[in-house]
């Protein structure tokens, strides 16, 4: 991105010439007008204070978000993106949350190097001024910046230049406070050629009485009012020209040397798409970002250099999975690895089978006599104890090939919710507290009377075998359910939407999922949709993209895909980590071209042990469901079986098995 200095001078000179012709104000011919500062990207900026100014990117949250928990979430995402990631070579980063979130922001961002600022300050220092906030209070919290003179304060709250100047002085009395002073012209003023005189006056009045030394703690944000929140970003040439004008006034006030040190941000509809061009300009020293700072991903990308962002630039690692069990499942699903049993279990949903493979002997299966949504490990001293989410009920069964129970049906634990033919249990995983979270599936979502209808709920089976509803709304096809090791977040997608979300996950029984935020959207160029997912020990998501022949690893904080596992078949359905060291990714697939179990080693990445479902009382809850018995003889153990032909007499609602 860095260009050579001659090219820079040429560009600056051309811009300068063009602007002199096209703009109605005169750009000052100060010594710094044809800047010798290198053209920078935000991310590659290397600064030395005498020659170059370290860029500063600030996020102005304005009156957002509505609640502290949303603010915490945004801060966590930002902090996750930046932790241990930024070096001193990068830009200075500041966020400006509303007053009530300042302390939370300071705490959440601790250790990231990101500074926190206040969006305003009162005119008084203490006393009977109800509702006011003093500069000393801001400073004592540990905030580093105060933003003053924002156009919204000037117009909506009638702040005058002399108010702003008084506030600048109050901040300067606090040795640890810096100020971002915002200036900028309205559209009308711009059209009338008044940009320079408006900005000149705002600066002269706003900075009146300041000592040269104070200037080190002042950043100027040039924000044309017509660009704020409008999507009408100024061109980089317009910004550069205005910044030269700002520096001209600063030079008039404090001298060239001091003026050269002042950082001038551009603000007004800055986004990842516009930041790089703006930052090419020698006098654009960063950005004041409003709307785009409310999303961790876009803010991070702006800091990292917009379209050149590392988040986008790092090409994903590509791996290929190979088939290890040629099961030809109609619909393989729900793979789980038992550390205790050293065994992988999975299902073929419509074939009513649970499969087991210890990675050494031949895999074997057990027929359940019911369509299966998912399986879970059951907390037990016995090998092979599983819980099966059957079509009508939850079933406890033992999968051990030595068990005498092997030939009998499982024990019904309790009914599943929504006793209707329209829905059935689908994807599920045990949370970190040992409860089984599962979603329902609209059997008719692809066709039929209730096509497309959101009628499937999301539930949790707790240790008392009570089913709790986790969401107040319904959807079509639950998938992607998984939990990071802290157990406080749950991932989920309604497959037809092609979007994966994170929720704050309630640890207490009876709680609801809250604070939904988007983690990943399948891009339009990819076929298919997200199916099952698993989390690794870094907290990254592995999502099977059914229909596009791949499993992707997604950073849930940025949505960035850093690994793609390709399969030779189109529809992977889910995945999990297994093997002695939990470093092998097992992937179930579905027909017609797939159906086998695939595996890939992922160097340097490990899975987490699959949690076990814990039942407080082994007393099952009376169920109205029909008895669960195998509908055909179980295969003999330890042999590689031929998949059975599904029985035509079984109840198979809808027979639409989207994985
Ligand atoms: P915007 O706001 O990026 O949403 O236009 C900028 C600002 O007002 O500081």
Q: Which of 89, 531, 562, 583 is catalytic?
A: 531
Q: Measured from the CA of 230, which atom of ligand 1 is nearest?
A: 5
> Alpha-carbon distance 93 to 81, whole Å?
13
Contact 58, 286 (CB under 8 A): yes
Q: Measured from the CA of 182, which atom of ligand 1 is nearest?
A: 9
* pLDDT tens digits, one per residue of 41-90: 554 443 333 347 999 999 999 999 999 988 988 898 888 777 654 555 68
Residue with the nearest Cα to atom 3 of ligand 1? 290
Q: Measured from the CA of 289, which atom of ligand 1 is nearest?
A: 3
The residues, any chain, with a CB within 8 Å of residue 427's CB and separated by 6 or more, are 333, 334, 373, 374, 438, 439, 478, 479, 480, 481, 531, 532, 574
CA distances from 224 to 182, 239, 246 (A): 10, 9, 12
Helix 68-82 vs helix 296-304: angle between axes, to the nearest 10 degrees? 30
Residue list, annotated binding site for substrate: 424, 426
* pLDDT tens digits, one per residue of 288-315: 999 999 988 789 889 887 655 555 445 6
Q: How far is the CA of 379 from the centre of ligand 1 (A)?
A: 53
Output the pLDDT for position 108. Answer: 93
Output the average pLDDT for the chain. 83
Ligand 1: residues with CB < 6 A are: 60, 223, 228-229, 267-270, 288-292
Q: How far is the CA of 378 from the centre of ligand 1 (A)?
A: 52
Q: What is the DSSP string of 375-442?
A: EEEB--SSTTEEEEEESSEEEEEE--TT-GGGGS--EEEEEPSS-STTEEEEEEEE-TTS-EEEEEEE
DSSP, collapsed to helix, strand or coil, labels residue 472 as coil
> What average pLDDT does the segment 448-467 reach?
80
Residue list, annotated binding site for a divalent metal cation: 333, 479, 531
Judged by average pLDDT, the poorest of 11-25, 287-301, 645-659 is 645-659
Residue list, annotated binding site: 333, 424, 426, 479, 531
Q: Which of 56, 60, 293 to mutate to test the pocket of ligand 1 (most atoms within 8 A of CB)?
A: 60
What global pTM score does this model have?
A: 0.53
Residue with the nearest Cα to atom 2 of ligand 1? 290
Q: How far is the CA of 59 from the centre of ligand 1 (A)?
A: 9
581 noted as active-site residue: no
The answer, yes or no, to whether residue 461 has pLDDT greater than 90, is yes
> Alpha-carbon distance 297 to 177, whole Å?
28
* pLDDT tens digits, one per residue of 502-516: 999 999 988 999 988
> What average pLDDT does the segment 535-543 reach?
96
> Alpha-carbon distance 145 to 439, whole Å?
46
Q: How far is the CA of 192 from the centre of ligand 1 (A)?
A: 23
Contact 438, 386 (CB under 8 A): no
546, two tokens: 């059914």
Q: Which of 149, 232, 268 to mutate to test the pocket of ligand 1 (most atoms within 8 A of CB)?
A: 268
* pLDDT tens digits, one per residue of 478-493: 899 999 999 999 999 9
> Alpha-carbon distance 78 to 59, whole Å?
11
Q: Which of 57, 58, 228 to mutate to test the pocket of ligand 1 (most atoms within 8 A of CB)?
A: 228
């Amino acid at each position: 991105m860095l260009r050579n200095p001659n090219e820079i001078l040429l560009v600056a000179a051309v811009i300068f010439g063009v602007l002199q012709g096209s703009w109605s104000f005169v750009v000052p011919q100060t010594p710094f007008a044809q800047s010798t500062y290198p053209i920078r990207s935000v991310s590659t900026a290397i600064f030395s204070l005498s020659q170059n100014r370290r860029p500063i990117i600030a996020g102005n949250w304005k009156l957002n978000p509505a609640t502290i928990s949303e603010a915490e979430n945004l801060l966590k995402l930002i902090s996750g993106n930046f932790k241990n990631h930024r070096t001193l070579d990068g830009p200075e980063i500041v966020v400006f949350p509303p007053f009530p979130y300042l302390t939370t922001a300071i705490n959440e961002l601790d250790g990231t190097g990101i500074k926190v600022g206040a969006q305003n300050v009162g005119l008084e220092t203490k006393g009977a001024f109800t509702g006011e906030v003093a500069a000393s209070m801001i400073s004592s919290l540990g905030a580093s910046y105060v933003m003053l003179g924002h156009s919204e304060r000037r117009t909506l709250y009638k702040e005058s230049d002399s108010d702003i100047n008084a506030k600048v002085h109050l901040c300067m009395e606090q040795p640890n406070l810096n100020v971002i002073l915002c200036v900028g012209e309205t559209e009308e003023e711009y059209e009338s050629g008044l940009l320079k005189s408006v900005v000149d006056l705002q600066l002269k009045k706003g900075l009146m009485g300041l000592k040269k030394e104070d200037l080190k703690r002042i950043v100027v944000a040039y924000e044309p009012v017509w660009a704020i929140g409008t999507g009408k970003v100024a061109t980089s040439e317009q910004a550069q020209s205005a910044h030269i004008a700002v520096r001209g006034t600063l030079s008039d006030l404090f001298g060239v040397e001091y003026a050269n040190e002042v950082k001038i941000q551009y603000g007004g509809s800055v986004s990842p798409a516009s930041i790089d061009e703006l930052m090419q300009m020698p006098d654009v020293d960063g950005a004041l970002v409003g709307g785009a700072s409310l999303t961790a991903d876009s803010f991070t990308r702006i800091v990292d250099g917009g379209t050149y962002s590392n988040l986008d630039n790092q090409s994903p690692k590509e791996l290929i999975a190979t088939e290890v069990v040629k099961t030809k499942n109609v619909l393989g699903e729900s793979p789980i690895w038992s550390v205790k049993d050293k065994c992988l279990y999975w299902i073929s949903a419509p074939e009513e089978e649970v499969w087991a493979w210890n990675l050494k002997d031949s895999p074997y299966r057990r027929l359940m006599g019911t369509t299966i949504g998912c399986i879970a490990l059951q907390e037990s001293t016995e090998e092979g104890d599983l819980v099966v989410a059957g079509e009508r009920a939850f079933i406890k069964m033992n999968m051990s090939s030595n068990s005498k129970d092997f030939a009998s049906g499982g024990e019904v634990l309790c009914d599943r919710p929504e006793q209707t033919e329209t829905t059935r249990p689908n994807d599920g995983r045990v949370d970190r507290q040992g409860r089984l979270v599962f979603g329902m599936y609209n059997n008719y979502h692809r066709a039929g009377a209730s096509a497309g209808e959101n009628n499937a709920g999301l539930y949790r089976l707790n240790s008392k075998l009570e089913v709790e509803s986790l969401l107040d709304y319904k959807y079509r096809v639950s998938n992607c359910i998984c939990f990071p090791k802290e157990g406080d977040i749950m991932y989920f997608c309604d497959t037809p939407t092609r979007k994966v979300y994170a929720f704050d996950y309630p640890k207490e029984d009876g709680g609801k999922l809250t604070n939904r935020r988007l983690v990943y959207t399948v891009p339009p160029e990819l076929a298919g949709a997200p199916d099952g997912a698993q989390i690794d020990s870094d907290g990254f998501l592995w999502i099977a993209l059914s229909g596009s022949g791949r499993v992707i690893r997604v950073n849930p904080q940025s949505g960035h895909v850093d690994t793609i596992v390709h399969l030779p078949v189109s529809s992977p359905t889910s995945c999990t980590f297994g093997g002695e060291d939990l470093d092998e990714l097992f992937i179930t697939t579905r027909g017609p071209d797939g159906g086998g179990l695939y595996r890939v080693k992922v160097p340097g990445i490990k899975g987490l042990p699959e949690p076990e479902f814990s039942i407080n009382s082994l007393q099952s809850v009376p169920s109205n469901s029909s008895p669960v018995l195998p509908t055909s003889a179980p295969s003999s153990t330890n042999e590689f079986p031929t998949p059975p032909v599904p029985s035509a007499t079984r109840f198979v609602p809808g027979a639409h098995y989207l994985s």
